[in-house]
Homo-oligomer: A and B are copies of this chain.
Amino acid sequence: MTRSGTSDLYPTRGAGAAATLIPREHPTVWPSAYTGPASDGDLVMHDCNGYLKLPDLLTAGEVADHWDELGRLCTDPRVRADERTIVEPGSEDVRSIFEVHRLSDAVAELARDPRVAGRARQVLGSEVYLHQSRINYMPGFDGKGFYWHSDFETWHAEDGMPTPRAVSISIALTDNHAYNGGLMVLPSSHRVFASCAGETPDGHHEESLRSQQVGTPDRDTLRALTHRHGIDQFTGPAGSALMFDSNLVHGSGNNITPHPRSNIFLVFNSVENPLDEPYAAGRPRPEWVASRDATPLR
């Protein structure tokens, strides 16, 4: 069952869907009584560009602890056999481990940390919960990237997230160089919704978490967005982070260097924006990809 009617401000996919750019109706930074780590200037930048670089979010010691934790998770046979662990297309290397805050106390604690959840509350102007968490491990030599996409497009179509009142924080556990598959963003692309053509195949996430085919903007849209604001690449040492709007178009190239690229990826959704039925998919994705428990994070 899918629904995509006149009341849907962000129609995408489905029968007859065409690739178009739809102005975004909702704010990026919501009116908020929360004070916290982000300055007013930070919030203006985040609103304008759709993302904010956070240098030195973690200390070197914290990075080392989380790196060790990643190593334990990747080599734990129970974790490797878990459906929440996604391997690289064409190999058995771990690409991502989802719902990692339930597998790791350290990650659960990090998500609650005021440096992290505090910024999310400031931006979203409400209590927040974890919509998704994962560790991404892009191996060296043969690491595959992610093609351009807006996360919100997928979360709306496949998870039933009503509005783009969600924000992601990606925390680097390895140095992000320009040449090892670092995240590229299209600045200000979060201000339009890039509606996508094509229908969602049943069980799409089983493939899309490895290599996304549906729910990616078409080439004319990408040319237009890039022409207007260019491309920015997130580089920086381990411990730095990128906060970005759920509707920001982003992607990454592959990684043939010997340097792996790893990050902890935490998605905060407003408790006032709980998931509904998918807007353009037959059935919701599993809980471990998109939580339906909107209990506020404390």
Question: Is A184 within 8 A of B226, CB to CB?
Answer: no
Q: How far is the CA of A251 from the CA of B253 in the complex (A)?
A: 14
A211 at the interface (CB under 8 A from B): no
Chain A's interface size range is: 20 to 34
Give the contact stretch, choosing among A160-168, A173-181, A274-282: A173-181
**Complex: A255 Cα to B257 Cα, angstroms:** 15
User: Is A222 an interface residue when CB atoms closer than 8 A count as contact?
Assistant: yes
Question: What residues of B have a CB within 8 angstroms of the CB of A258 in the complex?
Answer: 219, 222-223, 226
Q: Give the number of times this chain occurs in the complex, counting copies.
A: 2
State whether A222 touches B253 (Cβ < 8 A): no
Chain A 209-235 near chain B by CB (<8 Å), digits 1 or 0: 000000000010011001000010100
Q: A30 at the A/B interface (Cβ < 8 Å)?
A: no
Interface segment, one of A46-54, A55-63, A141-149: A141-149
The contact of A233 among B145, B179, B226, by CB within 8 Å, is B179
Interchain CB contact under 8 A, B254 and A254: yes
Known contacts A141-B219, A141-B222, A219-B141; A256/B179 CB under 8 A: no
- Footprint of B on A, CB under 8 Å? 140-141, 145, 147-148, 177-179, 181, 184, 219, 222-223, 226, 231, 233, 251-259
